Amino acid sequence: MELYFIRHGQSINNVNWKNPEYEEHPDPYLTDIGLEQAQYLAKYLKEKQHITDENAWNIQNQYGYGFTHIYTSLMERAVDTAAPTARALGDVPFTAWTEIHEEGGIYAREEANRFNGLSGRPRSFYEKNFPELKLPDHYDDSGWWNRPFETEEERQPRADRVLAELLARHGDREGQPEQRIAFFSHGGFFVRLISAMLNLPWRQASHDMKSWFLLNNCSISRFELRRDELLISYLNRTDHLPADLITA
């Protein structure tokens, strides 16, 4: 199985992260730059979807990607990023995976109610704006989150569960065609997921330093998960974007 982790485009929170007067949005939408990044990504992946040489060593995807499944977080910025690619590819299943959300979930940011869990977008929002997206059966107009703020203790176990479920759904099987999976997700969850894959302690580097895997908006990272091996082919690839659209 090949896994391609794609971070969402620039969000309104991203562009304002150094603005002391800005109050974070609980479910931020994409900026105009973020929307443009998503379009560039979709155009690139459409051009590279077909694998032109099945026998070549395709470690940098120079011969194409061949996605078989697209999954997205149900946070608005992830769906906004994934949808143009899903529409461009056309026949690749496009499915919401609620558990690949960003750390913390959907929660209030204003001081009086800070960290109170919120509902998230209702089902009708996604049905109206993204009819091609397959939604969970249990998801209704009460919203997809409707939980308390996700605590620190809950975050790594969630990533561990996602990895186990990913392998159960798409891991290599005898006689099964290669599965090539795109995850449209978030920077914080990426660090949790790579910690799960590599069995790393959270943010702990040598010499008392704190570790982090930085991802740019709309970057692509590639992993190969085989029966007895994990291969990291590349991280944080952005060469499909113009220089002026590379943001963090």
| Cβ atoms of 172 and 226 closer than 8 Å | yes
Tell me the per-residue pLDDT of 45-77, one tens digit each, with 9 for 90 and over. 999 999 999 999 999 999 999 999 999 999 999
Nearest one of 76, 67, 61, 62 to 13, comparing CA atoms: 76
pLDDT at 76: 98
Q: Are strands 69-72 and 2-7 parallel, antiparallel or unpaired?
A: unpaired
Please report, rounded to a whole number, the percentage of residues in the chain having pLDDT higher than 70: 100
Q: Are strands 230-237 and 94-96 parallel, antiparallel or unpaired?
A: unpaired
Tell me the per-residue pLDDT of 26-51, one tens digit each, with 9 for 90 and over. 999 999 999 999 999 999 999 999 99
pLDDT at 111: 85
CATH class, range 2-245: alpha beta
- Tokens linked to 25: 């949005």
3-state secondary structure of 184: strand
- Tokens linked to 196: 């799960």
- Tokens linked to 137: 């059966």
Tell me the per-residue pLDDT of 191-225, one tens digit each, with 9 for 90 and over. 999 999 999 999 999 999 999 999 999 999 999 99
Cα gap 137→55, rounded to integer Å: 40
